[in-house]
Amino acid sequence: MTTRRSLIAGNWKMHKTGDEAVQTVQQLKTLVADAGDVEVMVAPPFTALTQVATTLAGSTIALGAQNMHWEAKGAFTGEIAPAMLVSAGCRYVIIGHSERRQFFGETDATVNRKIHAALAAGLSPVFCIGESEAQRDAGQTFSVLDKQVKNGLEGLFSKDLQSLVVAYEPIWAIGTGKTATNDQAQEVHAHLRRLMAEILDNTLAQTMRILYGGSVNPGNVKGLMAMPDLDGALVGGASLDPETFSQLVHYQG
Ligand code: 13P
């Protein structure tokens, strides 16, 4: 059986100034120093990245960004290029979060360009997918996800995707306190792994980490992480407080 190292990732969204972010990771560094078998990542806002990177020097906590543009440079006011994230100290970049798709017009096509660009820059994309409540109620969950995955990964092959992380975030579970049940999440994750085997290859499907996101908290994390195809969590609200986030990182204890 393949062992996949769990990744507990905090997506801070539009929260924390540079100073607030530094304070948070200073505490977090101590709190998760013993979390050897679980990988920890935080994704602060762009303006806090370099300060957080400096604070994290020498710690095992990885740094991620929440978005990026696909072009390397140019007249794209307000955008951030992949190499800028690398030089700020990022190892990961979240791509295609449902809030980006919903509020900022991101599509499967732009997500695809971003994944290509992130990989070319040496960043590990955290590729977000998820269905809405209406789509789930209409029985379309798998078809919606299949389309997001196939379009998002178009033109990429398993050799390119060794560092890709997938995050399944059902839109109806984000920030709502309404978590997918362990079985609902497992059903989707197993489906996604089968899909990866079908469109890429089985070795990659077995080693690829698939995170769950949507109202993960200290009360539900253990049950979710016990499911065989859940390899970690992408956490919003519960990642902002270092004590709470540390409880998530220590879900095994
Ligand atoms: P919440 O954990 O606040 O539901 O957010 C999930 C999320 O969107 C992480 O990317």
Residues 161-209: tens digit of each pLDDT: 999 999 999 999 999 989 999 999 999 999 999 999 999 999 999 999 9
Which candidate in 39, 99, 131, 169 is catalytic?
169
Looking from the CA of residue 97, the nearest atom of ligand 1 is 10
Q: From CA 69, how far away is CA 76, in angstroms rounded?
A: 9
How many whole angstroms from 49 Cα to the centroid of ligand 1?
Answer: 19
The mean pLDDT of the chain is: 97
Looking from the CA of residue 98, the nearest atom of ligand 1 is 8
Whole-number percent of the chain with pLDDT over 70: 99
253, 34 Cβ separation under 8 angstroms: no
Helix H or strand E encompassing 38 = strand 38-43
Task: Return the pLDDT at 45.
Answer: 98
Dihedral class, residue 119 (left if φ above 0, else alpha if ψ from -120 to 50, else beta): alpha
Can you give the pTM of this predicted structure?
0.98
Q: From CA 247, how far away is CA 252, in angstroms rounded?
A: 9
Q: From CA 140, how far away is CA 53, in angstroms rounded?
A: 41
Residue 36 has pLDDT above 90, yes or no: no
Range 144-149 average pLDDT:
98
Task: Return the pLDDT at 3.
Answer: 86
Which candidate in 97, 99, 131, 189 is catalytic?
97
Task: Return the pLDDT at 1.
Answer: 58
What are the domain boundaries of the chain? Answer: 7-17+39-237
How many whole angstroms from 40 Cα to the centroid of ligand 1?
Answer: 16
Tell me the β-bridge partners of 9.
41, 234
Query: Which residue owns the Cα nearest ligand 1 atom 7?
Result: 236
**120 DSSP assignment:** H
How many whole angstroms from 215 Cα to the centroid of ligand 1?
Answer: 6
Ligand 1 binding pocket (C-beta < 6 A) is 11, 97, 169, 174-175, 213-216, 234-238
For residue 169, indicate whether it is catalytic. Answer: yes
How sure is the predictor about 253, in pLDDT bands with cuts at 50, 70 and 90?
Answer: confident
Decide which of 3.40.50.1240, 3.30.420.10, 3.50.50.60, 3.20.20.70 is the CATH code for 7-17+39-237: 3.20.20.70
Task: Return the pLDDT at 217.
Answer: 97
Burial environment of residue 161 by CB neighbours within 10 A (0 to 12, 13 to 18, 19 or more): buried
